[in-house]
Amino acid sequence: MEKERLQKLNKLQLLNMAVSMGISAFFLSTYFGSPLKRVLFYFIDGGAFAIFPRIKSTRPMSI
């Protein structure tokens, strides 16, 4: 029982971290402009693709 609760907590923490990273990446990218924004969005896309392999990346791969 305790183990299940810990696993649930870890998943929530992971999700929370991912969301906060995404938000901070978004603010950084709007702050520093286009080239960095592109890199960050590819990074976020890659992360989402690694976590959910079924979801195809929405952005074209050519930079």
Q: Where are the domains of the chain?
A: 2-51
Model pTM score: 0.35
Separation of alpha carbons 10 and 53, rounded Å: 20
pLDDT of residue 3: 78
Beta-carbon count within 10 A of 13 CB = 10
- State the pLDDT at residue 22: 77
pLDDT band at 17 (very low <50, low <70, confident <90, very high): confident
- What mean pLDDT, rounded, does the chain reach? 66
For position 6, what pLDDT does the model report? 74
What is the per-residue pLDDT across 39-62, written as a single tens digit (0 to 9) for each? 666 666 655 555 544 445 555 554
CA distance 62 to 59: 9
Contacts of 43 (CB under 8 A, 6+ apart): 25
Please give the C-alpha separations between residue 59 and each of 6, 15, 18, 44, 48, in angstroms, as whole numbers. 35, 22, 19, 11, 12
